[in-house]
Chain A
């Protein structure tokens, strides 16, 4: 963790404020509480890692911020504001202007996100023309500029290509370039390196971090891989069963986890110090969101569970702004 990053993030003031976000899916089998009371405060230019297993609600949280929840899903309650603008009060046109303009998104699989029958230039120019009253030539110039920014050689040639003519890493760079087109204040990246080769992963992570710091764009990086965000994020939020169970600076979370689930995640990441020994795994499976156990959702998989865990754990806030939801936290006494 670089201390200057941290300081900058805290000085800049609030960008995104989410309180009590609940996104439910009404299915035939019952209501799936994919996101069940999530609070996120994000400062300008800050990088937040949103970590969790599949089904923890981390991606749905990202899509909720953009109003891209399709039926049967619905944001049932909570408040969201971006730069002081109340997002829950937006109409369809208001959401459209927000998407790609103020908040951009990068998807998981670059082979699926670009339209296969449209040329790259068309897909980039439309992203700009959706938000600014500019001619094609001006939008093309901007497209070229951002392609150079994300490190794509011979951008003119790439702009004339179709997606299938490009490699996976190249396509993801283009998706990142599209996200940067309108200089958004926030980019939500939904596991953007999961589908890429490991060697490309590192490059992309490095590239995105550099660009966000350069432009001052805030970033929410959604991932299941704690190792990816450890070196990338200012703060890390760990999600489990639709809730943020622990939140703190990257250093705090990695070095000194409070929640047993966070500890489990850290121990399941292979590292140099654990070479040769068996990797730790969290016992059991993510509970069904249709039918969560009473109290702490992690209780049945937790080695530290106590009788108090039968009750809903409260959100404990420490002095530095660090929070966790656990009756029996690790690492020293509760404040």
Chain B
């Protein structure tokens, strides 16, 4: 088990190195950030001074090595734009995004799994057909459009919920959270719903497919032949077996949502990381982009590790494979 986790961390380190090189070269090729850093009227001398100050006059491999040397010590450089440490800039924004995504995915699982199971258990019911039709809409409609419609209805027409911002937050151990205040929740509902609807639609379809696959299995019929109560047949024998695909999809979607929540964050002016990333890419703010991607690679690999550990809790054969490694 420990060997398994250490292996994963080594993999993560390798992925971070490769990824940082690619991003470094990519951004170098796209353009010169100097243009963004000096006023259009600046003369060549001023430009050269700025380039020197930011180390942009060095060859790319030199710049990269300097970056790596600093990064190993935890210093990912300062934003070209604000002069703040890049990592700090990102970490400040991270709780807002994670909070929104956790609520969205939580909503998607709580709605998606029961509806998906019902749809799988009663394939011919009218309610199933309705759920499946709505779920197709759920992941076909673009997120920004759903967001705008929700704002139209709940904020503009009904005037119930705020259309933008994060509301009041509470500071817990240096992390500001909206989920702890009623006003925060009012601000959180619409963005989380926007992000969560598409995820719920996906989870419904995965759960239904898994249910349809497990239901004809002999062990379900055998459980019934033992006289096990229907609630236990569904809640234990069926559910434990469909959890594997559900956990896989939920894990993937969670990572995806955290790394790329930018559309929802933009629609609701939610001050998360996604918005920061897009702004930084536009102005070629390399330290922020690189730091962001390093953080995300690390986060996604950790997430995969958590998913793998969950597999082991669910599936005894997975446990065995790890033991054999």
Interface on A for B, CB 8 Å cutoff? 66, 68, 92, 96-101, 104-105, 107, 109, 112-118, 126-127, 130-131, 162, 164-165, 175, 178, 182
Contact = CB atoms under 8 A, between A and B. Distances in A.
Given A114-B219, A115-B219, A130 B229 contact: yes
B219 A112 contact: yes
A116 B226 contact: no
Interface residues of B, number: 23
Contacts of A114: 219, 222
A130 B226 contact: yes
B236 A100 contact: no
Given A104-B225, A130-B227, A130-B228, 10 more contacts: A68-B224, A98-B227, A105-B222, A115-B219, A117-B314, A126-B226, A126-B228, A164-B316, A164-B320, A165-B316
Given A97-B227, A100-B226, A117 B221 contact: no
Contacts of B315: 116-117
B36 to A, nearest CB: 55
Nearest to A97: B227
B316 to A, nearest CB: 4
Interface string B208-226: 0000000001110111111
A117 B223 CA distance: 13
A8 B232 CA distance: 40
B225 A105 contact: yes
B47 interface: no
Contact of A115 (B223, B225, B227, B229): B223
B227 A96 contact: yes
A105 B221 CA distance: 10
B224 A99 contact: yes
B237 interface: yes
B227 A99 contact: yes
7 contacts: A68-B224, A96-B227, A116-B241, A116-B317, A117-B240, A130-B228, A164-B316
A68 B218 CA distance: 12
Contacts of B227: 96-101, 127, 130-131, 182
- Residue among B226, B229, B315 having the largest count of chain A Cβ atoms under 10 Å: B226
Contacts of B317: 116, 162, 164
A101 B219 CA distance: 18
Interface string B245-274: 000000000000000000000000000000
A234 to B, nearest CB: 24
Nearest to A162: B316
3 cross-chain pairs, A with B, having the tightest CB-CB distances, nearest first: A100-B227, A112-B218, A100-B226
A112 B237 contact: no
A176 to B, nearest CB: 12
B232 A115 contact: no
Given A118-B236, A162-B316, A112 B217 contact: yes
A66 B225 contact: yes
Contact of A118 (B225, B229, B237, B320): B237
B240 A113 contact: no
A178 B223 CA distance: 10
B221 A178 contact: no
Interface of B: 217-219, 221-230, 232, 236-237, 240-241, 314-317, 320
Contact of A117 (B228, B229, B316, B320): B316
B219 A126 contact: no
B222 to A, nearest CB: 4
B241 A115 contact: yes
A214 B221 CA distance: 28
A222 B222 CA distance: 16
B226 A178 contact: yes
A104 B75 CA distance: 68
B218 A116 contact: no
Contacts of A175: 222
A107 B221 contact: yes
Contacts of B226: 99-100, 104, 126-127, 130, 178
Contact of A107 (B218, B228, B236): B218
Contacts of B218: 107, 109, 112-113
Nearest to B319: A162
Contacts of A100: 225-228
A27 to B, nearest CB: 15
Nearest to A102: B227
Contacts of B230: 92, 96
B211 to A, nearest CB: 15
A68 B237 CA distance: 17
Contacts of A104: 225-226
A157 B230 CA distance: 29
A116 B219 contact: yes
Contact of A113 (B219, B228, B232, B236): B219
Nearest to B240: A117
Contacts of B240: 115, 117-118
A101 B228 CA distance: 10
A125 to B, nearest CB: 11
B241 A126 contact: no
B222 A117 contact: no
B219 A68 contact: no
A164 B317 CA distance: 7
A60 B286 CA distance: 70
A73 B311 CA distance: 37
A92 B224 CA distance: 11
B315 to A, nearest CB: 6
A162 B318 CA distance: 12
A91 to B, nearest CB: 12
A102 to B, nearest CB: 9
A117 B225 contact: no
Nearest to A188: B225
A115 B237 contact: yes
A162 B241 CA distance: 14
Most chain B beta-carbon neighbours within 10 Å: one of A92, A115, A164: A115
A117 B237 CA distance: 8
A305 B227 CA distance: 46
